[in-house]
Each structure stands twice: as C-alpha cells, then as structure tokens.
C-alpha cells in the first residue's frame, strides 16, 4: 500500500481516503462491485451492522462511506472516513489512530462465519446492487450515457459498468465472493490518503499496525489504451418507453490527464459544452430551443469526450446537425475572446475551490497517482491561463466523432 499524507492545519478534521483499484475485467467486475457493499456491513471487531454503526457514533459521529467508479481502464473502490481532530474534543484517545484502525479492519478484517463472508450479508447486498443497477434504466439520462460508452467501447474494458452485471449476481455466494475478495486484495493497487494535522511518520506507523495487506512493492496504475475513432461514426438507435429523446455522442479526444496538452483540452471542453456560456448550451438549447439540456464531459483518464442532450424526438436531425456544426466550428478555431476568458475563469475558480475541501485536495492528488503525473492545482491553473486560441484549435483537431447514440420512443413510422 502506498501512503500519501497531505499535512494541513486548515481543517478541524482528519480526512482519510482509501483507493483500491483493479483492472476492469469481464470475470471479476461484478464480484468486485459487490465486495464493498458487504464490507460495510461489519468487521471482525464489530460483526453486527448495528455495532459497526455504533462504533462510528462513539468516534464523535465519524463519517464513513464508499464510492465505486471507473477511471481509465480500472474499477476503483474509494472508502472514506472523516473524523474530528481530537484537539477539538475532550478525548483521551488519538482519533486518527481509531479511524485508521477502523478503516484497516473494514478492508482487511471483515466479519466472517466459517471462514467466509456472512451469507445473510452477501444475499442482502446482492439485492442492494441489483436495485442500483435497475435504477440506472429508470434514470434515462444516465442510462443513455452508459449505453453510448458501452457501444463506443465495445472492444475495451471501459465498456463495463462499474456496478457489474445484474445477471451475474445470482451466481455469487458467500464462499465464492470471499475467494474473489482475497484475490482482489492480493492484486489491487492500494493507495491511502490522509489529510489533516499529521505527518507521514505517524500515518506510516498506524498503517503498519492496522492494515493486514500482502507484503511487497505495491503495483502501480498502467495507462489506458486509447483507440482511434472509427473512420465513419456509427449510429445506434435504441427504442424504449420514453417521452423525451436522449441524443448522446462519443468522441475520441486522444489527450489524457498526463499529456502536456491536457490544459488545452480542458479549455476546449469548457468552450464546447461544460458551462452555461458554452457553445452547446447557447446554440442548441438557448438559440434553437431544441434541447432541455446540452453539455459535454471530458474523461481525462480515458481520453474520451461525450456530449449529452435531451431533445424532442422529432428534433433529432436538427439537433444532431447543430451539435456537429459546433464541433466543426471548434476545429476551425471559431471562438470569441469572451468564450475563452469566461471558460478560463470558470476552470480557475474550480481549481481554487479544491483548497476548500480536504476530499477535493485528495481527489486532485489521486489524479496524479492514476496518471503518473505531478500536477499541482496552482500549476494547472497557470497552464490553463496560458492556453492560446491556436492551442485550443490544435486540441479540437484531435477530437474525432466515434459514436452517435439516440434513445427514442417505440412508435413505429418515426
């Protein structure tokens, strides 16, 4: 496990983030997705869920949770604990020590029965994950976004949903999941971040005491394979019971977080569709009144840019045409000084706000760990400020449309 300590006296709490990442694969995406749901139910010292939660209450209401997502071609589980610094309460114990002990147990000493996970926890959390997956199809905006990526990345692990596959959950039991959990710990990339009034020496001593992980040099993240866009974009039309169409587009940007031209791609995405002043919002939603929403999103770790819009089904051709016009305008270098300055100001504000949140600071630093880069928020802000119109155009000319995905109604003849 690698340790990352961000010493600061700015906050009255300690923030702990534990990232556990493993390459996305067909065979293990579902058991890995299920694992943190089971781990949150209990540990060896607090095997009952109620005692697990009571322990957090005893620690002055410490907050605990986890997130599950994909970055690049990795499936990542992020566990979080925030706990008050004991200097601000009448405590006779080191609350950082207690938080580290608790987090170490969550990861490496789960509640077991007969040498495997507790069966009732596994069955209960299978239901939880099933409902989470089913909820995606009810959120048509998210469903369309996921389906666009799935179609675009058919030949890549990035197509896989971080929550796994619903149909595979039934075949998982307490014994098989525990074996997968052991393999997960043995092969994962593990990074522990601690932000607060502490030191690397203190955190290292505590980590050695409470995290029972395999010995040896921890693995590192490898960079994702970035494919070129299809020579001719593919068009996928899917029909469901919907009243509003979802037009999504997947583009290959060819620029990732660690690249020197990444700041230019950030400005490109900002001018195109990341903000309310962006071209997509103004031209598709405001001027043409064709979309309920229209925006773009950059995945810097995969080098993919996606466009999302919600439209009336009969407006598909017009909306598609206007979106493509904005992409072409970006490639021709057609943007105003005002568009660029407002975009830089928005990006700069976002980077400044990182300093106001311990978890945002941790998340920014973890981007460096993922990408093998050494960016600072100040350095990235300065790089963004120095981006020229010519550099934006150069980034735009690397962006290529790969997939058009349209979710529409079931009506025939349309």
pLDDT tens by residue, the chain, 414 residues = 999 999 999 999 999 999 999 999 999 999 999 999 999 999 999 999 999 999 999 999 999 999 999 999 999 999 999 999 988 887 778 999 999 999 999 999 999 999 999 999 999 999 999 999 999 989 999 999 999 999 999 999 999 999 999 999 999 999 999 999 999 999 999 999 999 999 999 999 999 999 999 888 888 999 888 899 999 999 999 999 998 999 999 999 999 999 999 999 999 999 999 999 999 999 998 888 888 899 999 999 999 999 999 999 999 999 999 999 999 999 999 999 999 999 999 999 999 999 999 999 999 999 999 999 999 999 999 999 999 999 999 999 999 999 999 999 988 655
Res 286: pLDDT: 87
Res 91: pLDDT: 75
Please name the residue that has the structure tokens 């009448």. Answer: 90
Closest CA to 62 of 213, 208, 190, 196: 196
Identical fold between 2-210 and 234-408: yes
Res 413: pLDDT: 56
C-alpha to C-alpha distance for 360 and 370, rounded to whole angstroms: 15
Would you say 60 and 84 are in contact if contact means Cβ atoms under 8 Å apart? Answer: yes
Res 371: pLDDT: 94
Res 291: pLDDT: 84
Would you say 31 and 176 are in contact if contact means Cβ atoms under 8 Å apart? Answer: yes
C-alpha to C-alpha distance for 16 and 97, rounded to whole angstroms: 11
Instruction: Report the run of H or E that residue 266 belongs to, with start and end.
Output: helix 262-269
C-alpha to C-alpha distance for 265 and 339, rounded to whole angstroms: 15
Q: Give how far Cα 276 sits from Cα of 56, 94, 283, 382, 393, Å.
A: 41, 46, 11, 23, 21
Res 86: pLDDT: 87
Domain 2-210 has CATH 3.40.50.2000: no
- What are the boundaries of each domain within the chain? 2-210, 234-408
Instruction: Provide the CA 63 distance to its chain's centre, in angstroms.
Output: 20
Would you say 196 and 11 are in contact if contact means Cβ atoms under 8 Å apart? Answer: yes
Res 384: pLDDT: 98
> Taking CA 124 as the corner, what is the angle to CA 170 and CA 160, rounded to the nearest 5 degrees?
50
For the domain made up of 234-408, give the CATH fold.
Cytochrome Bc1 Complex; Chain A, domain 1 (3.30.830)
C-alpha to C-alpha distance for 291 and 316, rounded to whole angstroms: 10
């Amino acid at each position: 496990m690698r340790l990352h300590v961000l010493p600061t006296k700015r906050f009255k709490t300690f923030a702990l983030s534990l990232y556990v990442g493993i390459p996305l694969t067909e065979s293990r995406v579902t058991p890995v997705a299920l694992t943190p749901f089971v781990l949150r139910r209990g540990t060896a010292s607090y095997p009952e869920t109620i005692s697990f939660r009571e322990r957090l209450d005893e620690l002055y209401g410490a907050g605990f949770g986890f997130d599950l997502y994909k970055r690049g071609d990795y499936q990542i589980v992020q566990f979080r604990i925030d706990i008050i610094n004991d200097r601000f309460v009448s405590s006779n114990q080191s609350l950082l020590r207690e938080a580290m002990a608790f987090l170490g147990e969550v990861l490496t000493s789960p509640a077991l029965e007969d040498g495997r996970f507790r069966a009732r926890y596994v069955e209960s959390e299978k239901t939880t994950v099933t409902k989470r997956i089913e909820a995606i199809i009810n959120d048509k905006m998210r469903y369309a976004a996921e389906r666009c990526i799935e179609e675009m990345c058919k030949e890549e692990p990035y197509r896989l949903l971080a929550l796994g596959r619903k149909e595979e959950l039934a075949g998982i039991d307490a014994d098989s999941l525990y074996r997968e959990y052991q393999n997960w710990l043995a092969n994962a990339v593990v990074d522990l971040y601690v932000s607060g009034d502490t030191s690397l020496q203190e955190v290292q001593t505590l980590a050695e005491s409470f995290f029972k992980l395999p010995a040896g040099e921890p693995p590192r993240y490898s960079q994702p394979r970035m494919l070129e866009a299809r020579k001719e974009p593919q068009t996928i039309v899917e029909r469901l019971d919907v009243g509003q169409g979802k037009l999504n587009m997947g583009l290959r940007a060819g620029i990732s977080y660690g690249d020197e031209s990444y700041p230019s791609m950030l400005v490109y995405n900002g001018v195109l569709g990341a903000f309310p002043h962006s071209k997509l919002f103004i031209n598709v939603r405001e001027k043409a009144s064709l979309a309920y929403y229209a925006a773009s999103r950059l995945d810097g770790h995969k080098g993919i840019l996606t466009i999302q819009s919600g439209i009336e089904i009969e407006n598909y051709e017009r909306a598609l045409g206007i979106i493509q016009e904005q992409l072409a305008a970006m490639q021709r270098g057609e943007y105003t000084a005002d568009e660029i300055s407002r975009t830089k100001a928005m990006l700069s504000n976002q980077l400044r706000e990182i300093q106001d949140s311990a978890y945002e600071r941790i998340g920014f630093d973890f981007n460096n760990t993922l990408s093998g880069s050494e960016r600072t928020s100040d350095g990235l802000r300065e790089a963004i400020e120095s981006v020229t119109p010519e550099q934006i155009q150069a980034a735009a000319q690397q962006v290529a449309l790969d997939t058009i995905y349209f979710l529409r109604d079931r009506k025939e003849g349309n």
